[in-house]
Every structure is written in structure tokens, then in C-alpha cells.
Structure 1
Amino acid sequence: MKMPQVRNPAVWLALALAAWLAGCTTVGETGRRQLMLLTPGEEMTLGLTSFEKLKKEMPISRDPALNAQVQRVGKRIAAVAQLPNAQWEFVVFESKEANAFCLPGGKIGIYTGILPITQNDAGLAAVMGHEVAHATARHGAERVSEALAMQAAGQVLGASLSGSDPKVQAAAMTAYGLGATLGRTLPHSRKQEEEADYIGLKYMARAGYDPEEAVRFWERFAAYNRQQGGSSTPWFLRTHPLDEKRIAKLRQWLPEARAEYRPQ
């Protein structure tokens, strides 16, 4: 989405305040307030369009056993998730990358490279619970909304400096970009990941998977990362929490998840 050009900073401030007041929603499982400028319909369209494009560009696994497992686990997780009008779809993509992803509206992609680490249905449930949680918490639409708000704030700053020296303008905009990334975008991304871990842990428990398997999966995933040489990226530049912090949080939440665990 492209923001319209408005020269008066006061107009932008008024629009930003109105958007904030009108666009706040609440994540059901956690009670966290979030900025939401996309309607559910716009969000669904965004997810469907992007997923269809990915399915044309990336090879899809034809392994019947892997596909059966992902469909089996995905349907059980989706059955306990709260997402009105969801269009759940679970696709296994051929890739050596140990990863999975979620697009708005319930579009979940699982890379074959992560399946040796999940090892079993419960391990896969930890991954899919996390991805489904991204969908139900509307994290994708929230990120778009945050980006629009940041863009609007940048235009307010640019308009307020329009009469300044070009070097001052450039320095201020660079500082704003860095500050927005380090002070808001990356910390917010890590917060979303933590929230998806929490909600996903509860989903897998409600779906009948032992929540302790989530801790075991992330321990295996951490070991895999170490075998790959780890990451040299400082923690404050990462989009995801550190593996050690993630595992510690999951252990902290286990008693709450166990209370909802009903073996099937």
C-alpha cells in the first residue's frame, strides 16, 4: 500500500491519531493490544494471493507420508484455533532450509528441511502450533499496519524538516530509520514470535499433543543451529528470540499448557 502525499504535518498527526484509536484490536489469547489497519477481508486476500504465488514459484513435495503427516497435524491444530472465516491450507515445500512460515488467513508452509528435526507428530505440532498462532493473532496484518504507521510518521518528520538544510534532513531521516528499526520493528518482531510460541504451546496441548515436546523440539533446533555454525548477528538485530531464551520461556509456560493437555 502506498501512503498519499500530505504536506501538512498536523494533518498527518490527526490521521495517525484517528487510525490508532480506530485501528486497535486485541489478541484473544494474550490480551495484547495491537495496531490493525487492515480489514479481515483485506488480510485474507493478501495471504491468498501471496500463497498462490509461492506455490507456483517453489517446488511442492509429493511425498505421500510427509504430506499425510502435515495434513493430520495441521487439521488437529486448526480445529482448536480461533480464526473466523479461516481458509486453512497446509503445504509441504521441498527445501533444505529448516523453516516454516505463515501467511495471513491460515496459509501455512512447511519446508522438508525442518521435518528431520521435528522427528514426530508432536514435534511437528510445536512448529505448526506456532505458525497457526501467527495466523490467529493476525501478526502479518499487524506488521503491515505497523509499516504504514512508520511510513506516515516518516512523512510527518520529512514535512517538518522541509525547510531545513538538505544534510540535516538526510541525517534526521537516517536516524529515524535506524531508530524505528532498532527501537520498534525488530523488538516488535521478537515480541510476536514470543507470543506465537505461547499461543502455539496452548494449541498443541488442546489438540492432544504433549506440550513438553515443544521444549524437546526447540532443544533439537538449537543443537541444529549450533551444528550449522550459529549466527553472528547480535541479539538486538534479530527478528527472532535467542534459542536459549525461547526454551526458557516455554519451560515457564509448561504448567499452564499442561492444564489444557488432553491426550488423544
Structure 2
Amino acid sequence: MRVDVLTLFPEMFTGVFGSSILGKAQEKGLVSLKAINFRDYSESKHGTVDDTPYGGGGGMVLKPEPIFRAVEALLNEQAAHSSQGEPGQCLSGPKRPPRVILLCPQGESFTQAKAEELAREDHLIMICGHYEGYDERIREHLVTDEISVGDYVLTGGELPAMVVTDSVVRLLPGVLGNETSAVTDSFSTGLLEYPHYTRPVEYQGWKVPDILLSGHHSNIEAWRRKEALRRTWERRPDLLDKLELTKQDKQWLAEIQTAEGQKPKA
């Protein structure tokens, strides 16, 4: 996969893209991560990328030309690499056009399902805005997706771009040391994740549940499923409305609700 981030502050991404899981994924050749200053694509001698809005109003608006030129340059660059098969290119060219993602408060809420969808792509281009907003022609004629990481406003799209990148890249095959980790994550199964324990068996009088020490794998899996249901019901019961529960799930959920003194749902 290739991820290109268009930003006015590429230096913000140096530590994030070069460290931890993202850094290791790049070292393995599983992903290419790059932050590009779209000010470089301004034709103004002062590198202007914004202007006052037509019709008046406060703030500045990002101009369309630098963004369009930056995306076009990335597409031309990738096409050239794909056709030439340059030595040292560890990643093959994209089989599909890239997804061009606008990070903005007006976008669809970012979810694990969206991360899994984007992880199946070959090339992602993310656009980080600043100031009051974007020229509407960027939305209408360039981007394929608009994503929001929450119902709040930040100073720019850089932090959301980092969040989306991290969430997507960790789902790529070979990125995580344990391939089952991403599969059992909270939200990937539709439920919050079950509790985890490790050594020591007892700490300050608090013990690891006996069933996890039993070595009986089917019983352990059943316990984990029930605990995932319990945690989801306690913390995010809204998720259960979206999930197709098995007969066993419903029985466990009824037991959990009864134990908590709440009447089980029919």
C-alpha cells in the first residue's frame, strides 16, 4: 500500500511515520508513507495556498489549484513507477485509482469498518486542511471520501490523517506480529474486546481467572465471547443493536443482564 498525505506541516509526520508499527511496516516494505507539502504546488511566488472567501465572512479558504496540482503530480509519479518497474521499488503500482480522502468535521464518522475498507486499497491520498475550509470544487471534483474522526474541530487535518493511517496500516497483512490481533480487536467483531491477562498469576491479591489457566481452548473461547458481550453491554450497548447475535449469545446476554439486576430483552 501507498499512503500520501498532503499537508502544510509535513514535519509533524516524521516521528509518527518513522516509529513503532508504522516505521517497522515501512522497513518491511509493506507500506510507503509520505507527507508532502502542497505549498510546493502553489504558482504564487509567495507560496500562497489560501484566499478570502467570495461573499465575505471570516477566515481563509484553501485554494483549489495547489491541491489539484499535488494530486495530479502524485498520480503521474505513480503511473511512471508502475510502467517502468524501477529497481528498488518494493511496492507494485496500484491496480485501482487511489482513494482521495478529505479530513474534515463534515465527513462521515471514521469507524473500524471504514478502516477495514480502506485497508483493501492500493493507494490512499489524504488532504489535510487548515483555515476556515476548502474551496468546494475540491470536494465536488477531486475527493472520493470525506472522513471525520469525531464531532469536534481541530486546527487542521494532520492529527486525523495520522489516526486514519495508523488504523488502516495495522490491518495490512504482515504488519502486526500476531495476525489474529487485528481480527479480535474491539469493533472488528462488532463487540468490544474481552479482558486480557498476563503474568504474574496473582498480583496484590488479584488473580487471573482460572479458566484462562485451564488449557481448555474451547472453554476459553466461550469465556472470551461471553466477556466481550458483557463489556459491550456495560459500555456500548448501542453496538448490540447492530449485531446479529447467535442463540448462545442471547442466552449469555440474558444471564449477564439478570446478574446485573436488569430484565433481559426479549
- TM-score of the superposed pair, with normalisation by structure 2: 0.23
Greater RCO (CA < 8 Å, at least 6 residues apart):
1
Which is richer in helix? 1
Which is richer in strand? 2
Pair member with larger Rg:
2
